[in-house]
Structure 1
Amino acid sequence: MGHNGVMTDPALAPRNAFVGVLIVWAVAFVASIGVGIFVAEEWRVPWLLVVFGAIVLLSFAVQLQYGRTQGFIFRVGASTIGALLLMGVISVGFGLAALVT
């Protein structure tokens, strides 16, 4: 009988896929707060676009690292759209704060 290589054991309790989505949201939150605090008002929107591009790449990386094909598009979409909405709410907050001062 031939040797077909090492068999892998199936994961009995696979990792929760939603944790990757929460990680991306947390990074988006911290990055957008950082942009709002450390970047001048006239450069906030371009830097938020750069941060969002990095968030999209991070979303793909985190979900690829998870290693499951089932629901990949849904998880990447949830990560990306959630981060976009979160960054939008934070940028509106910083915009309103700029109007008040």
Structure 2
Amino acid sequence: MTVTDTLPRRSRAGILSVWIAAAVAGLAIGLFVPSDLRAAWMAVALGACLLLAFAVQLAGGRSHGFTVRVAASVVGALAVLGIVSLGFGLAAVVPG
């Protein structure tokens, strides 16, 4: 009896690559952008992650589950950017 994999390994790599790109973009924004412009740039980074998710999933060549994979990529990128911005926001509030 064979067990079918619900999400192939290659699809997971595509989703994780978008999450990693979101983390890198969020850290770069947090380090190099002034604090009053960070929220706007985080929105730009999320838009770039959306485009990256489409490109990565289209390059994979599988149509089955395309929408789910893109949604997982973008929602994960949103969560990553939210966590990064929360970290920088807390760092700005804490006296140091």
TM-score range for the pair, normalised by the shorter chain length: 0.7 to 0.9
Matched, 1:35 2:29: yes
Instruction: Specify every segment of 5 or more residues in structure 1 that has no aligned partner in the other structure, as ranges.
Output: 1-13
Mapped partners of 1:38, 1:72: distance in 2: 34
Matches within 5 A, 1:1-101: 16-101=10-95
CA deviation map 1:21-44 (0-9, x unaligned):
011000000000000000000010
Which has the greater radius of gyration? 1
Which secondary structure does the structure 1 equivalent of 2:10 belong to? coil
Relative to the length of structure 2, the TM-score reads: 0.88
CA deviation map 1:38-57 (0-9, x unaligned):
00000100010111111101
Q: Deviation at 1:16?
A: 1.6
Stretches of 4+ aligned residues off by more than 3 angstroms: none
Higher share of residues assigned helix:
2
Count residues with an aligned counterpart: 88
CA deviation map 1:54-83 (0-9, x unaligned):
110100010000000011011000000000
Over the residues paired in the alignment, what is the CA RMSD in angstroms? 1.2
Which secondary structure does the structure 2 equivalent of 1:17 belong to? helix
Relative to the length of structure 1, the TM-score reads: 0.84
Mapped partners of 1:15, 1:88: distance in 2: 26
Instruction: Specify every segment of 5 or more residues in structure 2 that has no aligned partner in the other structure, as ranges.
Output: 1-7
Q: Deviation at 1:15?
A: 6.2
